[in-house]
Structure 1
Amino acid sequence: MKIKEFQRLMYELYFENDSRRGVLGNFAWLVSEVGELARAIREGDKGKIEEEIADVLAWLASLANVLEVDMEEAATRKYPGKCPRCLQN
């Protein structure tokens, strides 16, 4: 699945609730999931790490949807096949 497809799926599944929650509410959930990912990394549990990475990605997509940011376009602009700092690939 491409980034754009995943973001669209999150929109279709959750946008109604995400829009009611607003930017700060979605951001708070994203931060919470990053905390859960940190805990899973500390525990070294690969299964939990994979699950929490998926949750972080889902909440990032939800936040991007509420902010009307296309994640794939933003990533492509920032990382156009080379490092944005040194401009090397």
Structure 2
Amino acid sequence: MVEDLQLTEATQYITQLDSVKWTRADTRKIRKRFYTCLKGCPKRLFLLLNAESENVNVFVSNDEHQHEETNKEASTTLQQQKSFMKIKRKKK
């Protein structure tokens, strides 16, 4: 989970998470957004919007992508997450 990001930072985090394209589900809920992988696998992202601070927490499901090209890139995902967190810490 990544906490207390601005919406633009959260969007940037999602695009840096892996090379998979994500689509937002139309949930009609104000505080939550659910993203699913466009390739139809069980991997999910959840954005919880904080109404008071207008910041976002990003939750990534523990499910693995189930398509071949992403599995090849899975080893780089953890490194990308660490790099993003270093950038985030420097901003504070």
**TM-score, length basis structure 1:** 0.29
Determine which structure has the larger strand proportion and give its number: 2
Determine which structure has the larger helix proportion and give its number: 1
Higher-Rg structure is: 1
Larger relative contact order (CA 8 Å, sep ≥ 6)? 1
**TM-score, length basis structure 2:** 0.28
